[in-house]
Amino acid sequence: MPGRWLVFSTAVFLSASAAAAEEYRFDVEAFEKKPFEVNGYAELRAERFWLDRDTALYQLTFFDQEAHSALDRTTGALELSGLYRRGIATVQATGHAEAARDELGSEGETRLYEGYLTLEPATGTRVEAGKRVLRWGKGYAWNPVGFVERPKDPNDPELSREGFVTLGGSYTRSLDGALKTITFTPLLVPTSDHVNEDFGPGDHANPAGRLSMLAYDTDFDVLVLGAGARSARYGVDFARNLATNFEVHGEWARITDATKPVLSASGAVTTQTADTPSYLLGVRHLSERDTTTIIEYYYNGAGYTESEMRDYFTFVHAAYDQFVATGDSTSLERARNVQNAYVRPNPMRRYFYLRVSQKEPFDILYVTPALTVIANLDDRSYSAAPELAYTGVTNLDLRLRVFFLAGGRLTDFGEKQNNRRIELRARYYF
């Protein structure tokens, strides 16, 4: 009997030891660097838009369609990134495909976001050619110095975006002393009828450059885009930790000969040209209770004034009334011709951004509630978006957001086509 007990005890001990070893297993060889790498994500997004039929942008968008009080949209997206490395060369590419369906119909598109070759003959010296996403600036919601990138959506600043075809490089030196690092990034953004046609018109080389420094524990950049398909512009930015839990950042840019179409209340369209400054000042704070707060103030010198925006909305309302009364859509078409300038995100002058997120409240791991507010300081309209994110399942991100848009008549957020929106997004990474 004691013999059996000994055998049993030994078996239990051995299996427990095996379980402990299994518990903390680390097969590091599985993570060896490989010449090929592929990864990406698949995303499913369900959205409901509550439409406000009395707003200018609803009337402009839906005047020739059946009336809707709500839209339910389902979107599926797939993003794939691949990399191949050999010697000093690396080829990287990212493709994005998206298909959406709602009561108005369905649409889909596939785009190459990036596809470029990097040659790195020495650490800190690099040459790159191909389609590339460049993100300049320190701002979270906006980047006045983002001269060679597509505008970011302040409601989703971390979304991946499509790049431009560029030829460039970078040279970095680390130094001893107050100036710790210096990096120079020269760049060409060629435009023609076939390359970067949405960067700007005409055949141009569009030289650009960035000089980055880390000095006195502060990040500094000087950024320039020469005249070509776009007018010349230059700017600076900085970021610094004032304390371990408090960061401050800012950007300033000057755009020479910035143009914008202005539609008067009577319907006349003129083009305004002026040298305009834009700037941003922001802070980021982390409290002892793991609350992250981001606050930014953005002055968009190239944006519309309150009276210019009121004129546009007044014209759209009048044009819609005319269409309802007579069936004549000429004026609405005229408003549509300039809507790209007026309807883009944050088209006016002064904006305020606030994002407060609480990591794992009440010790609930992997849950992060947040609130994002974007306010137009000119007309006091705003968008408020509470959200809940959950990352408890490996490789799966879940996010639920609700947008509430508020503002008076003829205001930025008050005239958007929807006054509420709910969005549930599931993203699976592989």
Partner 1 sequence: MSSRPRLRALLRGLLPLVALLLATPAQAVDGNALLKQLDRNLEPESYEMYRKLINVEPDGSRKEYVLYTVKKGRDKMVALFLDPPSEKGRATLRLGDNMWLYIPNVGKPLRITSLQSVVGGVFNNADILALEYSVEYHVDQVEEDGNRYILSLKARTPAVAYDRLKMWVDKATVLPVTIEAYAASGLLIKTLHYKDIKDFGGIKRPSVLETDSPLYKGYTSVMLYAKIKARVFPDEVFTLDYLPRAGELR
| 217 part of the interface to partner 1, by CB under 8 A | yes
Q: Closer CB to partner 1, residue 211 or residue 424?
A: 211
Nearest by Cα to 262 from 153, 164, 348, 354: 348
| 212 part of the interface to partner 1, by CB under 8 A | yes
> Got the DSSP string for 330-381?
HHHHHHHHTHHHHHSSS-BSEEEEEEEEESSGGG-TTEEEEEEEEEETTTTE
Q: Rounded CA gap, 288 and 364, in Å?
A: 16
| 17 part of the interface to partner 1, by CB under 8 A | no
- Output the smallest distance, CB 125 to partner 1, in A: 9
How many residues make contact with partner 1 (CB under 8 A)? 63
Which residue is listed with tokens 């470029």? 116
Name the one range near partner 1 by CB under 8 A: 189-197, 263-271, 312-320, 387-395.
387-395
Q: Rounded CA gap, 37 and 304, in Å?
A: 46
Q: Which of 45, 73, 240, 254 is the binder for partner 1 (CB under 8 A)?
A: 240
Nearest by Cα to 238 from 216, 253, 217, 221: 221
Q: Which of 74, 110, 160, 192 is the binder for partner 1 (CB under 8 A)?
A: 160
Q: Closer CB to partner 1, residue 9 or residue 39?
A: 39
Which residue is listed with tokens 């947040």? 370
Task: Decide if 170 contacts 196 (C-beta within 8 A).
Answer: no
Q: Say whether 320 sits in a helix, a strand or coil.
A: helix
Nearest by Cα to 284 from 385, 156, 138, 145: 138
| 107 part of the interface to partner 1, by CB under 8 A | no
Q: Closer CB to partner 1, residue 4 or residue 33?
A: 33
Task: Build a one-symbol-per-residue string for 265-304: x at contacts with partner 1 by CB under 8 A, - elsewhere.
Answer: -------------------x-x-x-x-x------------
Q: Which burial class, exposed, middle or buried, applies to 242 when counting CB atoms under 10 A from its CB (0-12, 13-18, 19+)? A: exposed
Residues that bind partner 1 (CB under 8 A): 24, 26, 28, 31-33, 39, 41, 81, 85, 90, 118, 120, 123-124, 133, 135-136, 138, 140, 157-160, 170, 172-174, 180-181, 183, 185, 212, 214, 217, 219, 239-241, 243-247, 249, 284, 286, 288, 290, 292, 359-360, 363, 365-366, 391-392, 394-397, 429-430
